[in-house]
Amino acid sequence: PASLKRGADVLSLRCVAKMGRPRTVLVHGTGGTGKTALIRRAVGGAWSDATSPTIGLDENAGRLSFSLADETLIDDLRAVMPPDGLTLALWEIGGSRGGHLRQVPRGQTLDGLIICYSVLDRASFHNAATILMKLRADRHFDHGKPSLVGAFAPAPPRLPVVLCGTKVDEVDAGYPRVVSEAEAQEFAHANGLAHALTTSARSGEFVLEAFQALGVAILEAEEDAWAELAAAHDAGAVAHAHAWSLGASGGGDALAAPRAAVMTSPRGIRPGEPPSGGPSGTPLVEIIDLQGVTFGARPLTVCLERGLLHRAVHVWLCDPRTGALLLRKCGRQRPKWPGLWVPSCHSEVLCYGSTADPTTGPHTAELSLTSALRALQEQLGLERAGPDVEQWFSCMSRSSACHELLDVFVVSLGAVGISQLRLLQGEQVEWVHYLDVFGEASRHVGTLFHIEQPYRHSFVQRMRSRIAHHAKADSAAPYLIPAANARLAVAS
């Protein structure tokens, strides 16, 4: 059955990602950029200028192994390293001829790619774009062909690529450098490469770091593929209409009422994306680096286990006339802050958000405003807060393994009827003054969620400004905190 086939695919990919099989890495680049010397320095730890040009494909260029006991291991690789280590089987393609991915034997999928260029040769740098385009095109033709039937065909992990500048030692010897570090970084960012480094096979500078950075990208790509495949497996079979990339009605027969005006990209072009309007599977959380660049998706449980930085939202219901905030006490089953008092709503920015407009298809990831509106609806039962949700600021937050980039939103009382609130089973709310949460006296309150100093400072400043604004605009009688009047229905 198809469901058992999908389950076997998920288990197979997860096992492959965890087992100690060698990962195949192709070292490519224009002839004369020092690929062979780079490999020999990485594998043997020594410099040798007695190298001959590589002709065709060398499948035995070397093997490079890393273990958790290595003192030279970079922190990022140590964090994702399997217990039995990581081995890279290095292949090299000669730069003087050929170099097409189709020279790789059929049935052998590359796990990673290093593209070399010389910092002294601008032509070799320009050729990196050509090499990258050819390899990605061939990978698409080999693995990404769309199917005209609704069969489930898991795509391989994305191909991680590291851009590697060579011969940087010759710049120190007086030769002019014609490719700057900024240009290399810009190329990597524009083309979605994992890293861009400059190395010297002669001195060993950043040689091991380049291969370790690629190892990190390979392991992360495998985990991304596993997470997307698991989500697709949980979502169940793809409806026929979605297999043909047509919109379908939300209920009944998927073919009964297709939206003929809507046709998205063929599913073979977006293999990791769940079908529009189909059942939701395991939610995937968008994860980012310290520069705010998205580089993958993981289940929330994985983010919390490994301390991965991910995007999240906090939403506060407030009364700006009195400085009142609505605190919510999390249920004990919550993955974040169980049993603690937290913002009125909080949620993660999900990939392939189910709240996207069904007439335009699912987003790659939700907008943070979409996440905030979804949280208001799911956690408080508020349906009509859209125009009144205001983003105040963004900040980083880290407590133990919970590492978030937060967008903080506020909904002012009066815009939303308080009697509309509907809580989840086992949760409570309470109105408090904002200084009871963000004041100095609250720093050591053990029943509150973790609040970073930038969060605390920014919220107090914005709240004081808002209270002062309302004090000038409204000289009516004192406005009472409406806690006594709130009618809260508890969802069953």
Q: Which of 404, 236, 264, 234 is nearest to 335 (CA)?
A: 404
Q: Which of 15, 7, 92 is nearest to 52 (CA)?
A: 92
**Of 485 and 377, which is predicted with more confidence?**
377
| Both structure tokens of 218 | 């390979």
Band of residue 104 on the pLDDT scale cut at 50, 70, 90: low
- pLDDT at residue 381, as a whole number: 84
C-beta of residue 298 within 8 angstroms of C-beta of residue 285:
yes
Residue found under tokens 């009697």: 419
Residue 180 neighbours by CB distance under 10 Å = 13
Band of residue 9 on the pLDDT scale cut at 50, 70, 90: very low
Band of residue 41 on the pLDDT scale cut at 50, 70, 90: very high
**Of 386 and 239, which is predicted with more confidence?**
386
- pLDDT at residue 156, as a whole number: 66
Q: Which of 35, 32, 41, 36 is nearest to 64 (CA)?
A: 41
**How does pLDDT run across 255-302, given as a tens digit for each residue?**
334 444 444 444 444 434 444 443 355 778 888 877 777 777 788 888
- pLDDT at residue 90, as a whole number: 95
**How does pLDDT run across 459-482, given as a tens digit for each residue?**
999 999 888 887 776 655 454 444
Band of residue 307 on the pLDDT scale cut at 50, 70, 90: confident
Residue found under tokens 């990962």: 23
Q: Can you tell me the distance from the alpha carbon of 83 to that of 226, in angstroms, rounded to the nearest whole number?
A: 18
Q: Can you tell me the distance from the alpha carbon of 268 to that of 245, in angstroms, rounded to the nearest whole number?
A: 10
Q: Can you tell me the distance from the alpha carbon of 322 to that of 434, in angstroms, rounded to the nearest whole number?
A: 9
Band of residue 79 on the pLDDT scale cut at 50, 70, 90: confident
**How does pLDDT run across 355-393, given as a tens digit for each residue?**
334 333 334 678 889 899 999 988 888 876 555 788 999
Q: How far is CA 122 from CA 33, 77, 117, 172, 180, in A?
A: 11, 31, 8, 18, 10
Q: Can you tell me the distance from the alpha carbon of 57 to that of 74, in angstroms, rounded to the nearest whole number?
A: 30
Indicate whether 434 pLDDT > 70.
yes
Which of 140-149, 190-199, 319-328, 475-484 has the least mean pLDDT? 475-484
Rg (CA), the chain: 27
- Which residues does residue 112 pair with via DSSP β-bridges, in sequence order? 25
- pLDDT at residue 386, as a whole number: 55
Which of 35-44, 235-244, 359-368 has the least mean pLDDT? 235-244
Which of 190-199, 264-273, 316-325 has the least mean pLDDT? 264-273
Hey, which of 47-51, 107-111, 279-283, 460-464 has the most confident mean pLDDT? 460-464
What is the mean pLDDT of the segment spanning 330-336? 86
C-beta of residue 318 within 8 angstroms of C-beta of residue 413:
yes
**Of 109 and 130, which is predicted with more confidence?**
130
- pLDDT at residue 469, as a whole number: 80
| Both structure tokens of 18 | 């965890």
